[in-house]
Amino acid sequence: MHLFIVTGSSRGLGAAMAEQLVGPDHTVIGIARRAQAGLAAEQWTLDLAEPRVAVERLQAWLAEHSGWQSATLINNAALLSQPGPLAATDLGELSAALRVGLEAPALLSRAFLAGTAGVPTRRILNISSGLGRRPMAGSVAYCAVKAGLDHLSRALALEEPGVAIESLAPGVIDTDMQVQLRGADPARFTEQARFQGLKDGGQLQTAAATAATILRYLLRPDFGKTVISDIRDA
């Protein structure tokens, strides 16, 4: 059996990946604030803005389950605080975005690595973003956590040479996050028109198509050879 743990599994890219991973020899665990209707996987309804709860549950679950042929953690969950200047960002939104986007992946990776020692094939896929590699005004927290995911992946790859680890930018996807960016106040978020242009120009990929491409890449034998990557270059 092959284990897959997917965060942010209730909508968008995470939901599409969880749905496509379901299979007869796969155990899929989805972690999200809400359950995804119709998903034939184990679903843990947890808020990753309080990551210790999820980590402790994962530790306990891994201690009770073993014998995997492979185990994969997909750190996909992210929050986008209201687009605009950092100085005007709600403190609660800012804290939640940082905890979901970076603290939770770090803690979950720790629990995953410790709890799957001995599994022949292990993978950690961190869903990053081009904004982790190219800063943008009006989305400081999101840029910071994605850059942090990239460097977390680099450091972990040095520590864990036997684990395939990548931080992957998935391209631009038609998700709720894109809706939030297009709907932002242009006076607060000067990039609003660019994101509207992506939609108007038909440049957004569907979550389902992107998930299929990512999962094919994830299961390739050379996954992890390039720690920082972009699915458009794969």
What are the backbone angles phi and psi of residue 2, rounded to the nearest 5°?
A: -115, 130
pLDDT confidence tier of residue 23, bands split at 50, 70 and 90? very high
Residue 195 is predicted with a pLDDT of 75
Q: What is the mean pLDDT of residues 202-229?
A: 94
CA-based nearest residue to 181, from 231, 217, 155, 143: 143
96-132 tens-digit pLDDT? 999 999 999 999 999 999 999 999 999 999 999 988 9
Put simply, whether the predicted model's pTM sits higher than 0.75 gets the answer yes
Q: Of 96, 75, 87, give the one whose Cα is nearest residue 170.
A: 75
Report the mean per-residue pLDDT for the chain.
93
Give the pLDDT confidence of 55-80 residue by residue, as tens digits: 999 999 999 999 999 999 999 999 88
Is the pLDDT at 45 greater than 80? The verdict is yes
Exposure string (b/e) for 175-207, b if CB count within 10 Å is 16 or more?
bebbeebbebeeeebeebeebbeeeeeeebbeb
| Domain 2-172+206-233, CATH homologous superfamily name and number | NAD(P)-binding Rossmann-like Domain (3.40.50.720)
* 205 pLDDT higher than 80: yes
Chain segment 151-198, per-residue pLDDT in tens:
999 999 999 999 999 999 998 888 777 778 787 787 787 778 777 877
**pLDDT value at residue 208:** 95
Average pLDDT on 15-26 reads 96
Question: Would you place residue 90 in the very low, low, confident or very high pLDDT band (cuts 50, 70, 90)?
Answer: very high
Could you tell me the pLDDT band of residue 41, with boundaries at 50, 70 and 90? very high
Q: How confident is the model over 204-216, as a mean pLDDT?
A: 94
